[in-house]
Amino acid sequence: MKRRAFLGAAAGTAVLAGCKSGHEIEGGFTGVDVARGHALRDGALQAGNPPDVTRRTRVVIAGGGIAGLAAARALRLAGIGDFVLLELEDSAGGNSRGGAVNGVACPLGAHYLPVPGDHAREVQDLLEEFGLRRRVAGRWEYDERHLCHSPQERLYFRGEWQDGLLPVQGVGEATLAQYRLFSQRVEALRREARFVIPTLRAQTAPLLLSLDALAFEAWLDREGFTDAHLRWYLDYCCRDDYGAGMAHVSAWAGLHYFASRHGFHAPGDDNAERDAVLTWPEGNAWLMRRLADPLGERLRTAHVVTRIAERRGGVEVDVFDAATRSRIRWQAERCIVALPVFIAARVVENPPDVLTRAASFIHHSPWLVANIHVREPLADRPGAAPSWDNVIYGTRGLGYVDARHQALDPTPRATVLSWYRPLGPSAIDGGDGRRQLLDRPWTGWRDDLMEELSVPHPDLPALATRIDITRYGHAMSIPAPGLLRQLGAPKQVRAGRLAFAHGDWSGYSIFEEAFTRGHLAV
Ligand SMILES: Cc1cc2nc3c(=O)[nH]c(=O)nc-3n(C[C@H](O)[C@H](O)[C@H](O)COP(=O)(O)OP(=O)(O)OC[C@H]3O[C@@H](n4cnc5c(N)ncnc54)[C@H](O)[C@@H]3O)c2cc1C
């Protein structure tokens, strides 16, 4: 069903609620300094300027996202304290930063970490260090306070809320049969090939490469998965994990989402034990903060890396300090380049082939996250109870997570709803997301989200007080068909005195991939 038809059918009217709230909703853009990043692109920060000052250190880490922070932790664990971490934005964390709206903590990007599987050993160690996981009577247990509380997710479908995200309410037997078939297919593929997180521990078997060669949508066509509800759900999952629709990611990526973790569970599947996820009001910024805090002055924010050059016996890293507007040259033994691939290719002098090639075929999906402060809990439509993740069938956005879901105090209070909007290419988006992010005023996004969320929550316009919007022009690499083959076996990437670490090198971006790459780069 077309989105507008659905909205009309479900609500009776299509509301432009931002304009009808009866009070002014404050808001604007926050979180990412678009101008600073683009000044680097336009060459406005470096070209030919000698440094104002030269400094020495043993290791420079360029980029303070999860990969860069993981590298910093690994250096500390190895007893190497003489390093700096240089980050472009005013705070570290990259896509895993957090914020607050009217005093209520919320994520600006990444909001959860699934309980890591056996291959993500470094992430397991980190969680142990942070006290999130411990061994009790020979078994690993996770701290209940940080596991997502029940109910975890619900879907607004056909005018009511249902448990879980797979459409089941009133769907026919043919749909249920396709759910069961897809579940069996995923299980069979899981047995045949290693779908592993992190990908650098996978063997790039012929089966994985054949799935990589094909778009997920084409694979579904080939295998006879034609059911509209199944396909809506699978497309939703691709947009949720990769920021792009199922016609634009590989069959490997579409299946990896399920096969690397909990599988796909058809309704009524008794073994449908869903893998637990860890989450916090501020999202993965909870983890990020604990990685960043021990760094003290070694973490230099508002420091834009403009050039990385290998020299005989060392590395030179040039930086523009946006606070003092001065140029600093760091001389180091080595550099860990924890930057997105397209930026690394721009700043590394004489980039190695592996980097130039990767930058030519990796494309990034843009994203937008809107944090909506509501002064009291929203009224609800019938059906499943308010959950952590609340999705509306057939919309462009991915729904919202409630920042107060983990609160132990049950008193109804103000909260923040984080609305996620992927803007990569998909059946409902034309692929001009980056331009939209630059051109549209924040009020356009406000109206979009109000139109979607007012259907299940008609009182949202009246209760919303402020909306802060974070724009990511180049959020994460899209695992497009052929990417695995082009990346080669996605192992660790090194060249001379440079080691590369970023989620991009895995072909898709999640905490476990970024963290493991940062750790192993050291
Ligand atoms: C909206 C959104 C939601 C997400 N949700 C989840 C989730 O729930 N769970 C999950 O596991 N993953 C999620 N992700 C994926 C997320 O990208 C990864 O979890 C992880 O944060 C990626 O870390 P990274 O270090 O690879 O990259 P990045 O976060 O891209 O870090 C790169 C860093 O380099 C900095 N930088 C760039 N250029 C320069 C320069 N010239 N000089 C200095 N610094 C520079 C950037 O500012 C940034 O801090 C989400 C991503 C987005 C965008």
For residue 243 and ligand 1, the question of a CB distance below 6 A is answered with: no
pLDDT at res. 9: 34
- 300 contacts 323 by C-beta, under 8 angstroms: no
Tell me the longest C-alpha to C-alpha distance in the chain.
71
User: Omega before 167 cis (within 30°)?
Assistant: no
Q: 12 and 83 share a domain?
A: no
Note whether 157 and 271 are same-domain residues.
yes
Q: What is the CATH number of the domain that holds 304?
A: 3.50.50.60
In-domain check, residue 161: yes
Structure-token match 């994203």, residue found? 367
Give yes or no for residue 304 CB within 6 A of ligand 1: yes
Examine the domain organization and report whether 350 and 382 are in the same domain. Answer: no
| CA distances (Å), origin 266, targets 150, 186, 275, 471, 509 | 20, 11, 15, 35, 26
pLDDT at 173 over 70: yes
What is the predicted pLDDT for the residue at 495? 92
Whether residue 494 is predicted with pLDDT greater than 50 in this model: the reply is yes
Convert 119-143 to b/e letters by CB count within 10 Å (16 or more is b): bbebbbebbeeeebbeeeeeeeeee
Check whether 179 has a pLDDT greater than 70.
Answer: yes
pLDDT tens for residues 204-237? 789 999 999 999 999 999 999 999 999 999 999 9
pLDDT mean across residues, the chain: 92
So what's the pLDDT on residue 1? 30
Give 14's pLDDT tier (boundaries 50, 70, 90).
very low
Q: What is the mean pLDDT of residues 267-281?
A: 78
Any atom of ligand 1 within 6 Å of the Cβ of 340? yes
Determine the distance separating the centroid of ligand 1 and the alpha carbon of 105, expressed in angstroms. Answer: 19
Mutate to test the pocket of ligand 1, among 38, 87, 96 (most ligand atoms within 8 A of CB): 96
Please tell me the predicted confidence (pLDDT) of residue 204.
76
517 C-alpha to center of ligand 1: Å? 13
Give yes or no for a contact between 146 and 278, defined as CB atoms under 8 angstroms apart. Answer: yes
Beta strands in 260-325 (DSSP E): 277-279, 299-300, 303-311, 314-321
Output the CA 382–ligand 1 centroid distance in Å.
37
Tokens describing residue 195:
């779908």
* Residue 479 in this model has a pLDDT that exceeds 70: yes
CA–CA distances in Å: residue 460 to residues 18, 165, 415:
9, 22, 12
Which residues partner with 321 through β-bridges?
303, 326
Residue 309 confidence (pLDDT) above 60: yes
* pLDDT tens-place string over residues 100-133: 999 999 999 999 999 999 999 999 999 999 999 9
Predicted confidence (pLDDT) at residue 7 exceeds the cutoff of 70:
no
CA terminus-to-terminus distance, the chain: 50
Do the Cβ atoms of 403 and 389 come closer than 8 Å? no
Cβ of 367 closer than 6 Å to ligand 1, yes or no, is yes
417 domain-assigned:
yes
Question: Of all protein residues, whose CA lies closest to atom 20 belonging to ligand 1?
Answer: 511
pLDDT tens-place string over residues 124-166: 999 999 999 999 988 899 999 999 999 999 999 999 999 999 9
Q: Does residue 296 form part of some domain? A: yes
pLDDT band at 490 (very low <50, low <70, confident <90, very high): low
The yes-or-no verdict on residue 18 having pLDDT over 60 is no
What mean pLDDT is predicted for residues 318-342?
96
Check pocket membership of 503 for ligand 1, CB cut-off 6 A: yes
Q: In this structure, are 263 and 293 located in the same domain? A: no
Q: Which of 240, 275, 310 is the last residue of a domain?
A: 275
Residue 236 lies in a domain: yes
The pick from 91, 95, 401, 476 for probing ligand 1's pocket by mutation, whose C-beta has the most ligand atoms within 8 angstroms, reads 95
**Residue 305 CB less than 6 A away from ligand 1:** yes
Determine whether the shortest distance from the Cβ of 86 to ligand 1 is under 6 A: yes
Cα-to-chain-centroid distance, residue 122? 19
User: Edge-to-edge strands of the sheet including 314-321?
Assistant: 53-56, 326-332, 314-321, 303-311
Count of domains observed in the chain: 3
State which of 225, 242, 275 marks the end of a domain: 275
Question: Looking at the domain assignment, is residue 244 inside a domain?
Answer: yes
Q: Is 238 in the same domain as 345?
A: no
In this structure, are 45 and 182 located in the same domain?
no
Please enumerate in sequence order all residues whose Cβ is within 8 A of that of 92, keeping only pairs 6 or more positions apart, or say none.
64, 65, 68, 69, 85, 288, 292, 299, 301
Give the residue among 29, 43, 37, 83 at the shortest CA–CA distance from 61. 83
Structure pTM? 0.95
DSSP result, 159-196: TEEEESSS--TT--HHHHHHHHHHHHHHHHHHHHS---
- What digits encode the pLDDT tens for the residues 409-456? 888 899 999 999 999 999 888 779 999 999 999 999 999 999 999 999
Q: How far is residue 138's CA from residue 69's CA, in Å, rounded to a whole number? A: 31
Note the Cα 105 to chain centre separation in Å.
Answer: 18
In a domain, 113, yes or no: no
Q: Which atom of ligand 1 is nearest to the CA of 343?
A: 38
45 lines ligand 1 (CB under 6 A): no
CATH number of the domain residue 469 falls in:
3.90.660
Say yes or no: 270 and 166 in one domain.
yes
Q: Which two tokens stand for residue 308?
A: 């990385």
pLDDT above 50 for 292:
yes
Of 110, 108, 107, 112, the closest CA to residue 142 belongs to 112
- Nearest Cα to 373, choosing from 400, 396, 393? 400
pLDDT at 3 (0 to 100): 35
* 466 CB within 6 A, ligand 1: no
Q: Is residue 351 domain-shared with residue 489, that is, in the same domain?
A: yes
From the CB of 516, is ligand 1 less than 6 Å away? no
Please check the confidence at residue 399 and state whether its pLDDT lies above 50: yes
Q: Which residues contact 27 (CB under 8 A, 6 or more apart)?
A: 442, 443, 446, 466, 467, 468, 469
CA of 92 to the centre of ligand 1 (A): 10
**192 pLDDT above the threshold of 80:** yes
Ligand 1, atom 34: nearest CA belongs to which residue? Answer: 63
Percentages helix, strand, coil for the chain (3-state, rounded to 5) are 35, 25, 40
Statement to judge: residues 25 and 38 lie in one domain: no
Q: Which atom of ligand 1 is nearest to the CA of 111?
A: 8
Considering the domain architecture, whether residues 264 and 288 belong to the same structural domain is answered as no
Distances (CA, A) of 400 to 17, 89, 396, 425: 17, 26, 12, 21
Asked if residue 117 is part of any domain, the answer here is no
The answer as to whether 123 is a domain residue is no
Dist. CA 96 → ligand 1 center (Å): 6
pLDDT of residue 8: 33
Position 492 scores a pLDDT of: 85
Ligand 1: nearest atom to the Cα of 422? 1
Quick one: what percent of the chain has pLDDT higher than 90? 83
User: CA-to-CA distance for 38 and 118, rounded, in angstroms?
Assistant: 40
Give the percent of the chain with pLDDT over 70: 94
User: Which positions ≥6 away from 250 have C-beta within 8 Å?
Assistant: 211, 212, 213, 214, 215, 216, 479, 480, 481, 482, 483, 484
Domain boundary among 275, 296, 313: 275
CA nearest neighbour of 470 among 372, 386, 378, 387: 372
* CB 199 within 8 Å of CB 253: no
User: Across-strand partners of 299?
Assistant: 85
pLDDT at residue number 434: 93
Are 359 and 369 in a shared domain?
A: no
* Cβ(40) – ligand 1 distance below 6 Å: yes
| 370 has a pLDDT exceeding 90 | yes
Q: Is the distance from the beta carbon of residue 109 to the nearest atom of ligand 1 less than 6 Å?
A: yes
| 50 cis-preceded (ω within 30 degrees of 0) | no
* Same domain, residue pair 69 and 57: yes
Beta-bridge mates of residue 402: 417
248: containing domain: 153-275
Measure CA 180 to chain center: 29
Beta bridge partners of 419: 370, 400
Report which protein residue has its CA nearest ligand 1's atom 5: 110
Which residue stretches of 405-455 are H helix? Answer: 433-439, 442-453
pLDDT at 268 over 90: no
CA–CA distance, 121 with 126 (Å, rounded to integer): 9
Q: Answer whether 516's CB lies under 8 Å from 113's CB.
A: no
Write the DSSP symbol of residue 349.
Answer: S
CB 278 within 8 Å of CB 112: yes
Nearest CA to ligand 1 atom 53: 475
